[in-house]
Structure 1
Amino acid sequence: MISADEKTSIQARCRCHPTLPPGQTRLMRVEHEYERGGALAYLAALDVANGKVFGRCDASTGIAPFARLVKQVMTNEPYASADRVFWIVDNGSSHRGQTSIDRMANTWPNAKLVHLPIHASWLNQVELYFSIVQRKVVTPNDFYDLTDVEDRLTAFQDHYNLGARPFNWRYTKKDLDALLKRLTVHEPLPTAA
């Protein structure tokens, strides 16, 4: 099972003065003035069974960049020869609706695109990986140019994959049922006509 999504608009901000690391008695110092150096999208696919990440940087998101990510994964083993490979995605414009399901099935017959419910992208495990990327790579967003952004993302991904392991996902069907029960308590009752 593959969990895939995009992290959009990672900007290359070149600070006017270098960022200073935290000291014993002071916080990290980040210059507030910067020059913009453009932005990249980081597309990633997480194999939820082993924790390995496949990723790529692109100028933007869309159908074509997502197709390149799918090709990057599906041309490798064990995905190329698997009977079925489930792709879990949100309802973003790169992979929305029945058209995207048909496009995936026509290009990769063994790939099955599965959409999460609307407003439930937090269930997509690749978001956990993106949270790590945000904290370890992107923050405080101090890059020289787009090449620097791509190099750091790629280097982190390679480092991450050296110790890749699946996330210990603890959210169960019982937890979901309890959440839905709490939500229905707050729904307004239908009005009589």
Structure 2
Amino acid sequence: MPWREPMEITAEERAALERWARRPKTAQALALRSRIVLACSDSGRTGRRQTDVAVAKDLGVTNTTVHKWRTRFEVDRLDGLSDEPRCGAPRRITDEQVEAVVTRTLESTPENATHWSTRGMATASGLSQTAVSRTWRAFGLKPHLSETFKLSKDPQFVEKVRDVVGLYLAPPQHAIVLSVDEKSQCQALERSAPVEPIRPGRPESHTHDYVRHGTASLFSALNVATGEVVGKCMRRHRSAEFVRLLNQLDAAIPATDADGEAVELHVIMDNYATHKTDRVRRWFARRPRSHGRFTPTGASWINQIERFFAELTTRRLRRGVFKSVPALERAINDYVAQHNRDPKPFVWTADADLILDRVRRRCERTSNSGH
């Protein structure tokens, strides 16, 4: 290949090319093209005239690649290094048709149905099912999904949220925060036929019907700081059993810490009737170091022990087979013991202002929904 005269580039063009070539976030194709042009221009600056073959060898590309981008730069300068529009089939769906699908999805429901399907929308709009599906994905529309929410009507909602969340994020010194609740009606269920185990290409399967052998209630307390759980299975679900759990906690936690300071207990619980009996009130009244904190009515999600109950249900109870209540209780106790061998606290990140702002926005959307 004959020698080619070095390209001349301006100082502004060189600065742009060098910036594109070395910036880590630049598309690698554009970075390579910039290095090709710089190499072709640098042959004149260094006094060493190079062919396109030499530049290609230095950069590890083909001769055709060097020739293409050198020529494009000579004709269109920096704009020539960008990709040209690619050819393809002409667009068949107009913006008006896309807008009509989105508007119809958001503002209407099909006859005799609660939500649109891709096939139903395709029939109604005259588009293909694939086109409807792509439009929904592009705009993040999922008519087949539905979420639930609950708004608390507690008149002290704001105060209780700030109280509980404040204990999570900034607990008092020389104090232990305990999230306490009970998981009632844990059922000892035995399937009517043996469970078929998982196999390649097939998930585990079991019958939908079962034999019910009884229930048990798990009274538990979660140490918010350490993640440790104290749990006790009981056959009945009364304030007497709840007080037994409180007695167990009070006896297990020393009155003073390693520094000799008095230890306070902050017990977070929901508004279930078991927690508000005279027996429970008297228990707290006789123990000045223990303070009962209630979550807002209808907002048990703010109680961290519920997260532990969810994991217990998912990992051990929902697919378990128990032929008796004692077998169920052993499974629960074993799970709690295994959890406490390597406890990890749940990380609470939402402060009270963030929670209250989300609730405010939800209330505004609900009041303006037109229902």
Give the TM-score taking structure 2 as reference length: 0.48
> Match of 2:216, as an amino acid?
L
Q: 2:282 aligns with which of 74, 98, 103?
A: 103
Decide whether aligned partners of structure 1 residues 107 and 155 sit closer, same or farther in structure 2, where only a CA change above 3 A counts.
farther
- 1:154 maps to 333
Whole-angstrom distance in 2 between the partners of 1:59 and 1:169? 32
Q: Deviations for 1:135-162, whole angstroms, at most 9, x for unmatched residues?
A: 1111124101001000000001000001
- 1:167 maps to 346
Map of 1:31-180 to 2, 5 A cutoff?
Answer: 31-78=207-254, 80-81=255-256, 82-96=262-276, 99=278, 102-180=281-359
RMSD: 2.0
Stretch deviating more after TM superposition (65-74 or 103-112): 103-112
Instruction: Tell me if the contact between 1:43 and 1:55 (Cα under 8 Å) persists in the aligned partners.
Output: yes
Q: Deviations for 1:20-59, whole angstroms, at most 9, x for unmatched residues?
A: 2222211211123322111001111000010000001111
> Match of 1:75, as an amino acid?
A
- 1:14 maps to 190
Higher RCO (C-alpha 8 Å, min separation 6): 1
Whole-angstrom distance in 1 between the partners of 2:265 and 2:279? 15
* 3-state SS, counterpart of residue 252 of structure 2: coil
Whole-angstrom distance in 2 between the partners of 1:175 and 1:31? 44
Q: How many residues align?
A: 187
Instruction: Tell me if the contact between 1:39 and 1:146 (Cα under 8 Å) persists in the aligned partners.
Output: yes
Decide whether aligned partners of structure 1 residues 66 and 24 sit closer, same or farther in structure 2, where only a CA change above 3 A counts.
same
Instruction: Tell me if the contact between 2:218 and 2:233 (Cα under 8 Å) persists in the aligned partners.
Output: yes
Decide whether aligned partners of structure 1 residues 143 and 72 sit closer, same or farther in structure 2, where only a CA change above 3 A counts.
same
> Match of 2:268, as an amino acid?
I
Q: Is residue 204 of structure 2 the alignment partner of residue 28 of structure 1?
A: yes
Stretch deviating more after TM superposition (163-172 or 44-53): 163-172
Whole-angstrom distance in 1 between the partners of 2:359 and 2:190? 45
Give the TM-score taking structure 1 as reference length: 0.88
- 1:3 maps to 179
> Match of 2:204, as an amino acid?
M
Instruction: Tell me if the contact between 2:181 and 2:221 (Cα under 8 Å) persists in the aligned partners.
Output: yes
Instruction: Tell me if the contact between 2:191 and 2:209 (Cα under 8 Å) persists in the aligned partners.
Output: yes
| Structure 1 alignment gaps of length 5 or more | none
> Match of 1:85, as an amino acid?
L
Larger radius of gyration: 2
Instruction: Tell me if the contact between 1:11 and 1:141 (Cα under 8 Å) persists in the aligned partners.
Output: no
Whole-angstrom distance in 1 between the partners of 2:321 and 2:211? 10
Decide whether aligned partners of structure 1 residues 20 and 187 sit closer, same or farther in structure 2, where only a CA change above 3 A counts.
closer
* 3-state SS, counterpart of residue 355 of structure 2: helix
TM-superposed CA distance for 1:186, in Å, is 4.2
Instruction: Tell me if the contact between 1:39 and 1:59 (Cα under 8 Å) persists in the aligned partners.
Output: yes
| Structure 2 alignment gaps of length 5 or more | 1-176, 257-261
* 3-state SS, counterpart of residue 17 of structure 1: coil
The runs of at least 4 aligned residues of structure 1 exceeding 4 Å deviation read 186-189
Decide whether aligned partners of structure 1 residues 188 and 18 sit closer, same or farther in structure 2, where only a CA change above 3 A counts.
closer
Instruction: Tell me if the contact between 1:44 and 1:56 (Cα under 8 Å) persists in the aligned partners.
Output: yes
> Match of 1:61, as an amino acid?
H
Whole-angstrom distance in 1 between the partners of 2:288 and 2:208? 50
